[in-house]
Structure 1
Amino acid sequence: MKQVYLRVVLDTPLDTSFDYCWSAADDEGGLLPQAGQLVALPFGRQEVVGLILEVMAETDVPPAKLRDVLAVRHELPALSSQWLELCRFAAEYYQRPLGEVALPALPKNLKAIKTISLQRAIKKLAKLPVQDDVRPGPEPRLNPEQQAAVDAVVQARGFAPHLLFGVTGSGKTEVYLQSTARILAQLPDAQVLILVPEINLTPQLESHIRARFPGLMLSTLHSGMAEGERLLHWLAAHTGRARIVLGTRLAMLASLPNLKLLIIDEEHDPSYKQQEGLRYSARDLAVWRAHQLAIPVLLGSATPSLESWQRAQTRRYNLLELRERAVQNAVLPIIKIINLEKEKPSEGLTQRLINAINLRLEKGEQSLLFLNRRGYAPVLACDACGWISDCSRCTAHLVLHKGDHRLRCHHCGLEQRIPRACPTCGNIDLQPLGRGTQRLEESLAAFFPAARVFRIDADSTRLKGSAAAAFERVHAGEVDILIGTQMVAKGHDFKNLTLVAALNPDAALFSQDYRASERLFAQLMQVAGRAGRAAQAEGGNASEVLVQTRYPDHPLYHALMAHNYPDFAKDLLAERQQAHMPPFMYQALLRAEARELETAIAFLKQAAVCTEHQGIMINDPIPMTMTRVANVDRAQLLVESVSRPALQAFVKAWIADLRSMKSRVRWSVEIDPVDI
C-alpha cells in the first residue's frame, strides 16, 4: 500500500501549514495526490477543504499526531506551481498567512465538502461549445499612435510593462482588443486577462469582446455573480478553455495556465485595492505576475496613478501615448469654470448651467450632471436648536433618503424613519442641508418638466442587472438629462452626450488625504471625457464641460481646463518628493479597533515601541478620520521607510511581536495603504 504525507494550508489566520497522511487505499483508483490539488480533511471537530503544498515521503510530525486525509479532489486539475508561487508572493508581501490568500481566491463551491456543485459545473463545462480557432470580427482601422501601441505590446519579448496614456475617447479599448487578437492568433493556447475596476464596466466591454471574437470562450469573474455561475467561469479559465478572462480585481488571483497578456483598464482607479482581508492591489499584482511569467502587461488610463506615471518617467515602464480622439472629427470638450462667488446657484444650478442644458435639449442631445453624493441630502437639521441627524453608532451623519422616508447611515447601515419633529426641541420645521443625487433629480424635474431625467447611483441600481439596464437606456437615447455619481464617470461611451456639469467638487481640495487632489483631477477628467465622443457635426457646437466651484483660480482647475495631465502630475510628484510621500516613500498602516478609543490608542502606543526599527519612521497614533463605525472606535499608526525591503523586514518582525502582545484590541496591518 502506497503511503505519502501531504503538507496543506487551510483558510485560517494561522500562519502555518499542517501535515496529513494519505494511503492509496484511501482514494479510489490509487491516483497519487500532487501539489496544487484540493483535499477534504478533518480539522479539529470539523471537516474542511485544504490545498496541498507538497507531497512528501517523510514527515517530522509524530505518527500519533497525524490524521488521515478524507478525500483528494482528483476530478479538478491541480493548480499550477506558478499560481501557488503567485499566492506565496502575495502572502509574503502583504504579510498574510498563505491559507488566507490561496483558499479565498477560489470559488466558494469549490471549497464545499460535498462536491455536487463541482461535478455539475464540470459536466456543464464539457458540454459548452468551443471554437478553437480565433475568427475576429471586422477591426476598425487604427490611427498611427494606436498602431504603434499595439505593435509595442505584441512585439515585446519577455516581461514588458507598458503604460498606455491616452486622452478620454482616444481608443484605448481598441488597442486592448487588437493586442488581444494578435496574441491569440500567434499563440494557439494563449489566454488574455483583462481587468476593469468596477462591475458595471464589464457588460459594455464584454459585448465588445463577444462581437470581436465570435465563438471564442469568454469568462467573466466578479463578486456580483452567483456562486454556481462563478464556479463555471472559473473552471473555464482554470482548464484553459476560456481564452479571454474579463473581471474585476478578484480575477487577478484566478488560475490561468496559459496566460500571455495582462491588461489593466483605468489602472489609476482605487477600486483595484482590496479594503478588507488580504488588502492587495490587483494592479501591482498584475505587474508582478507579468514579471513572473515573462509576458507583457498593459496599464491604460487617461489619468494614470502617480506611481505608474513616475515609473514611466523614469523608464521603468514603456510610455505609449494616444493624444487624439479615435473617432474622426471627435474633439475634446471645452472645459469652463463657473465661479459660484459671482454666479449664485438656485437649487444647486447656476443660470449659465440651466441655459446650457436648455440648449442641449433643443438640439436633442444629452446632458450629464455629476454629483458624487447619493441620497437626498447629506444631513437633516433643526434651525431652532442646532440638532442634526447624526448616526448614533458612527462619527457620521444620517443621510436623508426622502423617497424611502428614511435617514440612513452609509457606513454601518443604520436606518431610522424621518422624525416628525426635532427630537431635541420639538420644532417641526426640519430642513435638509446640502444636496445629493435624489434632490438634484427633483430640482431638475422642476426646472425641465418636459425632459426625461434619469438617475444612476448605488441606490437606483441595487438589484442585479439594474445597472446594465440603466446604462442601456442612456445608450438607447431614452434619457435627456442623466444624473450620476462616480458610477458614470468612466468607461462609458455615450454617443449623444455633449454636455457635462460637475457640481460641488470643492470638498476634495481641502481633504486631509494627500491623494484627494489626484483623485479629484482623475474623477473630473474622466467624467469630462464622457462628452463629445462622437464626431462633431460640421458647424455644430463643440461639447462642453461646466465645473461649478468657489475656487476658480485653483491650479487643479487650470490644469483641467487645459486637459494637461502631464504638468499636473509633474507638480504633484514634486510636492510628494518634497514631503517624502509615496511613490518616494514606502508605507504600512497598523489599524486598531476597540470599544473605547483610548484602548485602541494605548495599544498603538505600545506597538510603536515593541520592535526595533532602525531606518523606519514610526508616526504618532491618531484616530482614523471616520473614528467610530458601528459602535467600534478606530485608530491608526503609520510607519514609513525609504527602503521597501527594510519596511518589509520590519513589518514581518513587528507582526510577530504584535501577535505576542496580550490585548483584546482587533488589529490589522496594511502594506501600501491608499486611504490614510
Structure 2
Amino acid sequence: MYWFEVVVNVPLYTTFTYKSEQALKRGQRVLVPFGHKTVVALVWRENLAPDIDRSKIKAIETVFESEPILNEQWCDLIDFCARYYHYPIGQTAFCALATGLRQNKPLTTKSEVFITLSELGLQQPAPAQAHKQKYALWQMLSGQTHALSTLKQSYPQAKKYIDLWLEAGWLIQVNPSSLIATTQNKPQLNSEQQQAVEAICCTNQTFSPFLLFGVTGSGKTEVYFSCIEQALKMGQQVLFLLPEISLTPQLLNRVQNRFGQYHYAVLHSQIADKERTQGFMDALTGQKQLIIGTRLAVFTPMHNLGLIVVDEEHDYSFKQEDDLRYHARDLALWRSKQAQCPVILGSATPSLESYHKAVQGQYRLLLLQHRANERSKLPKIHIEDVRRQKLEEGFSPAAIRLLRENHQKGGLSLVYLNRRGFAPALVCTDCGFSFGCPHCSAKMVLHKSGPTLRCHHCNFAQVVPDSCPSCGNQDLSALGQGTQRVEETLSTLIPQAVVARVDKDSTARKHDWEKLYQQIEKEQVHILVGTQMLAKGHDFAKLSLVIILNADGGLYSPDFRSAERLFSELMQVSGRAGRAEHAGLVLLQTQLPDHALFLALKAHSFTDFAQEELDKRQQFGFSPFGHSIAIKADAFHIGEALHFLTQVKNEMIVSTDVNVLGPAPAFMMRLSSRERAQLFLESQNRKALHQLAEQFISVLTVKSKQYKDIRWSIDVDPMAS
C-alpha cells in the first residue's frame, strides 16, 4: 500500500492524505472521495508514512493513467504561488489548471494536424481576391505547411473552406516530424536592437532578468522575435506574455509570418476551453514550442523553458484582482529563475518597481532610444490649456481644427478618452439628483443602447426613467463625455469622416478586433475613438494625430500609483502617433498645463517623471521602497466588516518591523451589494511582513466562523485600494 498527499479544489490551507495500491507520481490527476462527492485531485506528496490512523484513510478511486503527468517544475511553481500569495494550495493549483483538467473524467486530447496544398491543389487556380478570407487562406497554404488549429484561429471561416478542399483532395496532412522550421520576413535590426539581442542571447541557460526600455516605436517586438528565434532554434520553449487580448490579433499576424513553421499556441479568455486545454497539454508534452497568452498563461507547464518575454510589463492587467491575487510578471521572474533562463521585461514606460531594480543593478537595463523606422520621429506633444476656452462637447477649437485638417490630408486620427459609455452621470436639472448604482458606491453610466443606465463595476443595468425619482422632473441631463458621446459628436462635427469606437462594449465578440484591423488597413476608418485598449501595442502606419480628452481625471485618486498609471497611459497613447513616415502630433487638453507630469510627458522624459516619483515614494516608504499586504473583509453592513477586522487586529502581536494601518472602509465601500473594509500591513522587511500575514490567516480563519456573513481575503503587493 502507498500513501499520498493530494490537493483538492477547496478553500482550506492543507493537503489531504489518501492511499492507493499502485505507485503514483507527483502531479498525477486522480479521483478521490471527498465528503459525499467524488472530486478531482492532484497527487502532491508521495512515499509518505502517515502518522494518523491508517484505517481511516480513504483510497484513491481512479487514476487517469493515460494522461501526461504535470511536471515537477509546475508543482513547485504552484507551491511557491500558494505560499507567497497566502492562498489555499488546492485552489491555487486548480486556478492554474486548464478547464478540461478540472472535470471528473479522462482528458481527451488530439494530436496537432498540419496541412498543405497537395499536388492536385497546386494545379488549381487561386480563389478570387474578392473572397478575401478564402484567398488569404489559400495563399498561406501555397507551398507552406500550417497547423490546422492555427488556421482556424486566424480565419473565422477557415474550417468551412478547409473541409471543402480536403474533400476535393486539394489538401494533404503532413507528418509534423518531417517539418523543417524556417522563418520569413526577418527585418534588419538597427545597432541598438542588435546590441540588445546579443546581450540577451549570450546569457542562455542562466537566470538573467532584462528590462528592455525603449521609446514607443523603437522595435521592442523585433528584439523579442530575434531572441525567440534563437531559443526555438535550440529546441527550447518560449513563453510570451501580453497584458491584453486586444494585442493578440496584430501580433499573431506577425508571429505567423515570422514563425509560421513552428508550433505555437494562443491562450486567453476568448479561446474556447477545449482549445485552451489542448494548448496547455501540448506545452506540457513539448508539442508546442511557443506559448502566447495573457496573465493566466504564466501557469502553462513547459517541457523545456528557454526564454520568457513579458511585453508591456508595467501594465496593471498582469495583476489578478480577485480569488488568487497573483501578479503574472512577478511569477514570470520566479519561473525564469527556476528554469535558469533569461526573462525580458519590455516597456516604453516601465513600472517604477522594475525601473528602480534596473537602476540598482538587479536587472540589466537595455535601452532603445530611437525609433526603429529612421524616418519616424517621436510625436510633438502640445499641451492645450482649456481653462478659459469654450469647449464643444469636450473638444477645444484647436482639437476640432486639427481633426478636420488631418482628415482632409488623408491621415488617421485617434481621440483618446478612458471612459466608455455615453456619459458618466445622469442628473436631474431641478433637484440635482444623480443616479447611483443600488449595489455599488458608484454612479450609473449612461449608455445609448436602450438607452440604459449601467454600472461598470457590478454590471447592473436599468432602462433610463422618464422622470427624476426624487422630484418628478422630466428634464434629465447627461453630464460629461464617454466614448459613445465622443463618437456621436465627431460624426456631427466631421460628417464625411468614418468614426470607429474601440472600447469594451464595441469589441466584446471574438473577431471584432480582426475586423477592425482589416478596416484600418483598407483605410475605411478615418477617426478612432478609444479607451486604454488602444493605448498600447498597436501599430497603425497612417495614425498621425492623437487628441487626448480629460487628461486631468487620472490625477484625482487616493491611490499613490495614480500618477504613474496616468503617465504610462498618456505616454503609451501618444506613442501611437507618427510611427511610420507620417509626422505625429499629440494635442493634450488639460486644466493643469504646468503640472510636472504633463511637462515630463511633453519632453518625452520618462526618467524625469520616474526620478521625481521615486523620490516621493522613498519619503513615504511606498513601493518599491516598502512592501505591503492588504487584508480585506466584506459583509452586508460596513460595521460588521470593520468590527471583524478590528477584533482580528486586536489579537495580533505585531513586531516593530511591521506597521498595521486600519481597518477603514475601502475607497469604493459598496460593491455588488456588499460593503468592504480593509487594513494594510506595511514593512521594509518582506520576511517579517509575510510571517505576520500567516498569523493573521490563523486568526482570520477562527474568527470568521463567529460571523454569519463575513468574507475575507489576502492581497499581497496590492495594486489598488
Q: Normalized against structure 2, the TM-score is what?
A: 0.89
1:649 aligned partner = 691
Distance 2:283 2:55 in 1: 41
Question: Could you tell me which of 596, 599, 607 is aligned with 2:648?
Answer: 607
How far residue 68 of structure 1 moved from its aligned partner, in angstroms, is 1.6
Q: How many residues get paired?
A: 657
Alignment of 1:208-357 (within 5 A): 208-357=254-403
2:707 aligned partner = 663
How far residue 126 of structure 1 moved from its aligned partner, in angstroms, is 10
Deviations 1:522-576 (A, max 9, x none): 000000111101124xxxxx31000000000000000000000011101100000
Question: Could you tell me which of 57, 60, 68 is aligned with 2:51?
Answer: 60
Mark the runs of 5 or more structure 2 residues left unpaired by the alignment. 116-146, 148-174
Q: Normalized against structure 1, the TM-score is what?
A: 0.95
Secondary structure at 2:10's aligned position in 1?
coil
Distance 2:431 2:253 in 1: 55
How far residue 33 of structure 1 moved from its aligned partner, in angstroms, is 2.0
Deviations 1:504-536 (A, max 9, x none): 011211211110010000000000111101124
How far residue 136 of structure 1 moved from its aligned partner, in angstroms, is 1.2
Distance 1:300 1:258 in 2: 23
Mark the runs of 5 or more structure 1 residues left unpaired by the alignment. 25-31, 537-541
Question: Could you tell me which of 10, 14, 17 is aligned with 1:16?
Answer: 14
> Does structure 2 conserve the Cα–Cα contact (< 8 Å) formed by 1:51 and 1:103?
no
1:29 aligned partner = none
How far residue 371 of structure 1 moved from its aligned partner, in angstroms, is 0.4
Secondary structure at 2:662's aligned position in 1?
coil
How far residue 13 of structure 1 moved from its aligned partner, in angstroms, is 0.9
1:175 aligned partner = 223
> Does structure 2 conserve the Cα–Cα contact (< 8 Å) formed by 1:10 and 1:50?
yes
> Does structure 1 conserve the Cα–Cα contact (< 8 Å) formed by 2:185 and 2:257?
no
Q: Percent identity?
A: 42
1:582 aligned partner = 623
Secondary structure at 2:14's aligned position in 1?
coil
2:718 aligned partner = 673
Matched, 1:87 2:78: yes
Question: Could you tell me which of 110, 133, 137 is aligned with 1:122?
Answer: 110
Deviations 1:383-433 (A, max 9, x none): 111111111111111111123311111111211111111112221111101
Distance 1:113 1:403 in 2: 42
Matched, 1:621 2:621: no
Structure 1 residues 572 and 457 mapped into 2: Cα distance closer, same or farther (>3 Å)?
same
> Does structure 2 conserve the Cα–Cα contact (< 8 Å) formed by 1:267 and 1:299?
yes
Distance 2:403 2:626 in 1: 46
Distance 2:560 2:102 in 1: 41
1:46 aligned partner = 37
Matched, 1:100 2:147: no
1:153 aligned partner = 200
Corresponding letter in the other structure for 2:42:
L
How far residue 330 of structure 1 moved from its aligned partner, in angstroms, is 0.5
> Does structure 1 conserve the Cα–Cα contact (< 8 Å) formed by 2:114 and 2:176?
no
Secondary structure at 1:103's aligned position in 2?
helix
Matched, 1:69 2:113: no
> Does structure 2 conserve the Cα–Cα contact (< 8 Å) formed by 1:130 and 1:215?
no
Corresponding letter in the other structure for 2:588:
V
Matched, 1:569 2:624: no
Distance 2:638 2:449 in 1: 36
Deviations 1:574-617 (A, max 9, x none): 00001111110110001110111111111121222221111110
2:162 aligned partner = none
How far residue 341 of structure 1 moved from its aligned partner, in angstroms, is 1.1
2:185 aligned partner = 138
1:6 aligned partner = 4
Distance 2:86 2:35 in 1: 26
Question: Could you tell me which of 676, 681, 687 is aligned with 1:634?
Answer: 676
Question: Could you tell me which of 575, 578, 592 is aligned with 2:633?
Answer: 592
> Does structure 2 conserve the Cα–Cα contact (< 8 Å) formed by 1:130 and 1:217?
no
Structure 1 residues 409 and 173 mapped into 2: Cα distance closer, same or farther (>3 Å)?
same
Alignment of 1:158-557 (within 5 A): 158-185=206-233, 187-188=234-235, 190-536=236-582, 542-557=583-598
Secondary structure at 1:621's aligned position in 2?
strand
Structure 1 residues 47 and 125 mapped into 2: Cα distance closer, same or farther (>3 Å)?
farther
> Does structure 2 conserve the Cα–Cα contact (< 8 Å) formed by 1:134 and 1:184?
no
How far residue 290 of structure 1 moved from its aligned partner, in angstroms, is 0.7
Secondary structure at 1:175's aligned position in 2?
helix
> Does structure 2 conserve the Cα–Cα contact (< 8 Å) formed by 1:125 and 1:236?
no
Distance 2:533 2:248 in 1: 12
How far residue 225 of structure 1 moved from its aligned partner, in angstroms, is 1.4
Distance 1:472 1:561 in 2: 32
How far residue 47 of structure 1 moved from its aligned partner, in angstroms, is 1.1
How far residue 315 of structure 1 moved from its aligned partner, in angstroms, is 0.5
Distance 2:404 2:59 in 1: 75
Secondary structure at 1:56's aligned position in 2?
coil
Corresponding letter in the other structure for 1:34:
K
Distance 1:97 1:673 in 2: 18
RMSD: 1.4
